[in-house]
Structure 1
């Protein structure tokens, strides 16, 4: 078998496994965070969580597919490993950037919700107080 084909198979296996592992980890652990952001609405948190996971898969697997090009010398084992490390490195970098972006946006939503709740007084005004 050609080294390029071997490199592609290794790249696909590693990239897909990493993408699935990260998506499951973020989904499982992010559910609690989403429930807090969405003020305890469990159904909405689950729906948003599923939508985020689908988007995560689409973007990452799309990137994996785009990197399925011959971009380097794969004539020997060293070239194959260097080519694989660059491609897998880009996938990992995108996974990290997407994770940080999601956490940032959700944290902003959460912070805005807390600020809105703090503006409402805990007890409604009763009457005018005489001084």
Structure 2
């Protein structure tokens, strides 16, 4: 019973986080890319590709993390498992976000100075 509840809660939580963060980053990311690169059309295309890749990575990671087949026996294990799994996907999102920001910043410096 706890396993089904854990899978359901995990998928709901990660889906909400993925969709909400993707929406926020996509909305603000277009302005950031346009500021760095200047041209609107390529920035919008890059922003859309980043959103698509973001969704693929997160859905893939969430699905992959379910393959462990964790066994949950009580409510305390349920909360611990959900916390660890949700925390790991949030940390992954954070790392990927800052890698993208740094990459585009460095590419824009190279693009502007060449």
Question: TM-score with structure 2 length normalisation?
Answer: 0.93
For residue 73 of structure 2, give the secondary structure of its aligned residue in structure 1: coil
Higher helix share: 2
Whole-Å Cα distance in 1 between the matches of residues 54 and 104 of structure 2? 15
Q: CA RMSD in A?
A: 1.1
In the other structure, the counterpart of 1:44 is: 42
Q: Partners in 2 of 1:10 and 1:16 — Cα distance?
A: 10
Deviations 1:53-96 (A, max 9, x none): 0000000110000111323x410000111111111011101100
1:91 is the counterpart of 2:83? no
For 1:112 and 1:36, the matched residues in 2 are separated by 14
CA distance in 2, matches of 1:20, 1:84: 18
Q: TM-score, normalised by structure 1?
A: 0.82
Unmatched tracts of structure 1, length 5 or more: 117-131
Aligned with residue 55 of structure 1, among 53, 77, 82? 53
Q: Distance in 1 between matches of 2:107 and 2:44?
A: 16
What number of residue pairs does the alignment pair up?
113
Q: Which residue of 2 aligns with 1:75?
A: 73
Q: Give 1:21 shift.
A: 0.8
Mapping for residues 1-131 of structure 1, pairs under 5 Å: 2-39=1-38, 41-68=39-66, 69-71=68-70, 73-116=71-114
Provide structure 2 residue ranges, at least 5 long, that are not aligned to the other structure: none
